[in-house]
Amino acid sequence: MSLCIHNAYRVTASGVGHGGVLVGDDGRIEALLDGPDHAAADTVIDARERLLFAGFVDAHVHLRDPGLTHREDFPSGTTAAAIGGVTTVMCMPNTDPPIDGAERVAVTAAIGAGRSFVDFTLQATIPAVLEPGMAATWASGITSFETSLADGQEGVGTDRLDDPARLLDVLEAAARLDATVGILAGNQSITDALTTKLQAAGRDGSRATAEARPPLVEAIGIAQLVEAARATGARLVFRQVNTARGFELLRRARAELGAERIGVEVTPHNLRLTLDAVDRVGTWGQIIPPLRSAADRAAAVAALVDGTVDFVGSDHAPHAAFEKEGLSAWEARNGSPGLDTLAPAVLDLALGGHLTLCRVAEVLGTAPARVFGLADQKGDLRPGLDGDLVLIDPQLQRTVSPDLIKSKPGRSVFEGVHLRGWPVLTALRGEVVAENGALVGPPRGRFVARPCA
């Protein structure tokens, strides 16, 4: 089945042009069309001059499947993705059991096959025994290893790298394989000490849990990781960076060691919101690292604009209501759904004049595909790439409310926030999979292995 979407403003990282895209029977982009005319195809869609992007790529998604499916599963999470214009999700490994080796990669790929509405890749934890565990896992087609200096990955699959000697061993092994390591900076010792003090003082609430993770822990963690990357030659992706000082340290590290070795992710909530969100949505705004100040938020936007940030990842991290509500903030789970609102949260910045549309195409498509080795399949509008497309209506404005959230908890840190620029049609490899807020057709998503694997 071929697909032609025409009469659009086609947006890529390199420019905006009036035209369309023809996807061939094989599901790959066959041609870019210029002007209002369409090409012959089984399905022809007039975009009516709305914005046409390559399907968005979200490199930071917790689908919770298997084992934690009371929070999310492949069908529910990828429903949010498809309706939200995200055609590739990169799945974090802290499922139960975790994705901790090649065998779990194969099992989890099979669990998602036939149940996913968009394409997915898998990420893995650091194996307990580095050799030959890391080599075998990397060869299984994962897009990255994922770990953290502090807090770990929420209970299951925690493999915190707070021992500096172990960190160096891991990064040396990753450098030998030329493997990508995604990592969250932090400092467990400081967080533990502050938690003890805050609890002894009788403090509770999401602001107290944020105080246990001050901007200082990110800066210390980043400094440590940059030196470890320098010493080992490893390629890192710094996850969820959200402090002014953190962006400054990474700006320097990228200039010195090369941007291709020091990847930087920012989340949509850190671009748009401050810790005041917890006054509005309670623990649904309790996330690690915590939401920050207005100055840190402005620094995140500046870093996105000036290229210090490579890409925006949602850190889609659903939890059930019973894990969030009616509990001490110290007991409540950290994280919130993000797939539903990723695209409008970033597009609204562009439509408000803070970011170019080309940069949106880059940070939601081209860049995450490049950083994780999928540039020849995903994230851009070029002949030969997968025909993953998303049509955005720049006039469509909505105030985020629970009924818009397709992720299992049906809640969002963006509730009450007004956003412009919502997806109205999503196609995966040439097949329409979502239109006007509803799914179209059966689950067509596939496991995508990193191609050189």
Per CB under 5 A, 154 contacts Zn ion:
no
Cβ proximity to Zn ion, 315 vs 340, nearer residue:
315
Q: How far is CA 18 from CA 9, 38, 342, 451, in A?
A: 5, 12, 25, 32
> What is the DSSP secondary-structure string of 336-369?
B--TTTHHHHHHHHHHTTSS-HHHHHIIIIIHHH
Give SS3 for 199: helix
- Tell me, by CB under 5 A, how many residues bind Zn ion: 1
Q: Between 65 and 315, whose beta carbon lies closer to Zn ion?
A: 315
Min separation Cβ 186 and Zn ion, Å: 13
Q: Least separation, in Å, of the C-beta of 351 and Zn ion?
A: 27
Is the CB of residue 145 less than 8 Å from the CB of residue 174? yes
The least CB distance from residue 233 to Zn ion, in Å, is: 26
Question: Least distance (Å) from Zn ion to the CB of residue 378?
Answer: 20
Of the pair 93, 379, the CB lying nearest Zn ion is at 93
Region binding Zn ion by CB under 5 A among candidate stretches 171-179, 190-198, 213-221, 311-319: 311-319
Distances (CA, A) of 49 to 45, 257, 350, 392: 11, 42, 17, 10
If the CB atoms of residues 154 and 386 are measured against Zn ion, the closer one turns out to be: 154
Dist. CA 292–CA 335, nearest whole Å: 14
Q: Which stretch binds Zn ion (CB under 5 A): 105-113, 189-197, 308-316, 444-452?
A: 308-316
Among residues 315, 340, 380, 386, the one annotated as catalytic is: 315
Looking at 146, 151, 315, 348, which residue binds Zn ion (CB under 5 A)?
A: 315
Residues 6+ apart with CB under 8 A from 322: none
> What's the DSSP call for residue 167?
H
Can 315 be counted among the known catalytic residues?
A: yes
> Tell me, what DSSP letter sits at residue 290?
P
**Whole-angstrom distance, CA of residue 240 vs CA of residue 225:** 14
Region of 35-43, 133-141, 230-238, 307-315 interacting with Zn ion (CB under 5 A): 307-315
Report the nearest approach of Zn ion to the CB of residue 67 (Å): 16
Q: What is the CA radius of gyration of the chain?
A: 21
Map residues 269-288 to x or -, x wherever contact with Zn ion holds by CB under 5 A: --------------------
Residue number of the CB closest to Zn ion reads 315
Under a CB-based contact definition with an 8 Å cutoff, are residues 39 and 346 in contact?
no
Considering the complex, state which of residue 296 and residue 315 has its C-beta at the smaller distance from Zn ion. 315
- Residues lying near Zn ion in the complex (CB under 5 A) are found at 315
**Catalytic site positions:** 315
